[in-house]
Amino acid sequence: TQLLEQSPQFLSIQEGENLTVYCNSSSVFSSLQWYRQEPGEGPVLLVTVVTGGEVKKLKRLTFQFGDARKDSSLHITAAQPGDTGLYLCAGGGADGLTFGKGTHLIIQP
């Protein structure tokens, strides 16, 4: 069974600060997806990374896939209250997607 560990589990910071969320595994994944979930809704895809070392930017969010395709990070610059939510990483493999337990992020105004 492939496992994905996300850290931190909870993070509460002030508006304007920077933060990084980590997604780590001992397994190799064919791809790594990041989702964001708001209360009362289903997760929504933010980005997919498929190549080791790949970096993708989505406005103030920067996603990186590790060289060995075992880990990934999400960096948010100048966090805003609208970034508040549950961030989930999911690794792709032969058995489908494996989800991490998520990082609850709160951005205080």
Kindly indicate which of the ranges 10-18, 31-39, 56-64, 72-80 contains the residues binding another protein, using the contact rule CB under 8 A: 31-39
Cα distances (angstroms) measured from residue 6 to each of 15, 16, 59, 68, 69: 22, 23, 22, 17, 15
**Residue 28 makes contact with another protein by CB under 8 A:** no
Q: Which of 28, 50, 55, 78 binds another protein (CB under 8 A)?
A: 50
**Residue 55 makes contact with another protein by CB under 8 A:** no
**Residues 64, 73 contacting (CB under 8 angstroms):** yes
Q: What is the distance between the alpha carbons of residues 7 and 24, in angstroms, rounded to a whole number? A: 8
Chain contacts with another protein (rule: CB under 8 A): 29-31, 33, 35, 40-45, 48, 50, 88, 90, 92-94, 96-97, 99-102
